[in-house]
Amino acid sequence: MWIFNSAFGKIFKLIFFPFRGMNPWVGMILISFLTALLMLFVFRFSSNQEGIRRVKNKIKAHLLELRLFKDSLSLSFKAQRNIFRYNLKYISYSAKPLLVMIIPLILILIQLNLWFGYEPLVPGQETILKVELEEGRSPLDIDLALEPSAGFDIQTLPLRIEEESEIDWRLRAREKGVHDLTFIVNGQRLTKKVAVAQKPLSKISPMKVRRSFINELINPGESPLPRDLPIKTIRVKYPAKDMNLFGWNIPWLLGIPPWLIVYFVLSIILGFVFKGIFKVEI
């Protein structure tokens, strides 16, 4: 899985490379455009284009019927019933491309979360480093040490919380750069990357996880932890990234982060804009 993650991650690195120093909106527009193209491609080749066209025409016809027969209440209701019926059919026609799209889309979203989800730390900023152990493992029994780093000050001794099976440190960022935090666990050395004051568009991995298909799929930012160690995750808390539109910070919506809202809106708009050019019925 790590090989896949590494390769897939490199594609995104390549895509965003020229835009790293620019406002994140530039990268967001680009990736939304590429996503729109991908979605149009999937829709074109996996959906029943003729069926969608036919059903959409029927819906439009019945909408026009509402205008043409506005004096007849019974015809208006019939038209509404037909609109609803064809709408369901339309949704059923969209189901196949949705199923096809869902896998690439999740992979893309996971990658985008690394690029647009977090703000790097700034020198002087404090954060919490948290090591989560496997269930039932007491943090008091484990031999775990965090080595001092040039990039960070370790501000506290390890806090071992037995109920949560975790060990926490408070850190303060000292220097710009991507630093390695080094742990020694049962005599084995582990590293976790921490980003301080990066370019406006940077990849940030908040969590390193133990090797497993799903863990690695969802957290592709760093190589996995070995399975033979009692550590499940190593996590650094980063602030969430804002998407600022002409001075207005796009807010969270029902728990959905701003970048995801922007990404959805932009890719949908661009999809609709380019559907005519690529002759895709959606």
Q: Which is nearer to another protein, 175 or 269 (CB)?
A: 269
Give the count of beta carbons closer than 10 Å to the beta carbon of residue 238. Answer: 18
Contacts with another protein in 172-231 (CB under 8 A)?
206-207, 209, 212-215, 217-219
Options 28, 59, 196, 262; binder of another protein; rule CB under 8 A? 59
Radius of gyration of the chain (CA): 25
- Least CB distance to another protein at residue 179 (A): 19
Query: How many beta carbons lie within 10 A of that of residue 87, not counting itself?
Result: 15
How distant is the alpha carbon of residue 202 from its chain centre?
14
Q: Which is nearer to another protein, 26 or 98 (CB)?
A: 98
Residue 17 makes contact with another protein by CB under 8 A:
no
Burial of 76 (0-12, 13-18, 19+ CB in 10 A): middle
User: Segment contacting another protein (CB under 8 A): 3-11, 12-20, 99-107, 184-192?
Assistant: 99-107
Q: Give dist(CA 262, CA 23) in Å, integer.
A: 14
For position 30 contacting another protein by CB under 8 A, the verdict is no
Nearer to another protein (CB atom), residue 17 or residue 240: 240
Is residue 155 part of the contact set for another protein (CB under 8 A)? no
Backbone torsions φ then ψ of 69, nearest 5 degrees: -115, 45
Task: Out of 11, 22, 159, 256, name the contact with another protein by CB under 8 A.
Answer: 256
Strand arrangement, sheet containing 188-196: 144-146, 177-185, 188-196
Q: Which residues contact 231 (CB under 8 A, 6 or more apart)?
A: 131, 132, 133, 134, 144, 185, 190, 210, 225
Question: Which residue, 132, 148, 128, is CA-closest to 229?
Answer: 132
16: tokens are 């965003």
Report, in Å, the least distance between residue 187 CB and another protein: 26
Our finding on whether 163 is near another protein (CB under 8 A) is no
How many residues sit in the footprint of another protein (CB under 8 A)?
81
Q: For residue 101, state whether it binds another protein (rule: CB under 8 A).
A: yes
Q: Which candidate, 86, 104, 84, places its Cα nearest to that of 41?
A: 104
Any contact of residue 282 with another protein (CB under 8 A)?
Answer: yes
| 273 near another protein, judged by CB under 8 A | no
Q: Between residue 34 and residue 53, which ones bind another protein under the rule CB under 8 A?
A: 35-36, 39, 42-43
For another protein, the closer CB: 151 or 257: 257
User: Which positions from 75 through 94 interact with another protein, judged by CB under 8 A?
Assistant: 75-77, 80, 83-84, 87, 90-91, 94
Report residue 92 as tokens: 């059923």
Which region among 19-27, 96-104, 171-179, 190-198 touches another protein (by CB under 8 A)?
A: 96-104
Instruction: State whether residue 87 is helix, strand or coil.
Output: helix
Considering beta carbons, is residue 17 or 106 the nearer one to another protein? 106
Q: Which of 70, 123, 141, 153 contacts another protein by CB under 8 A?
A: 70
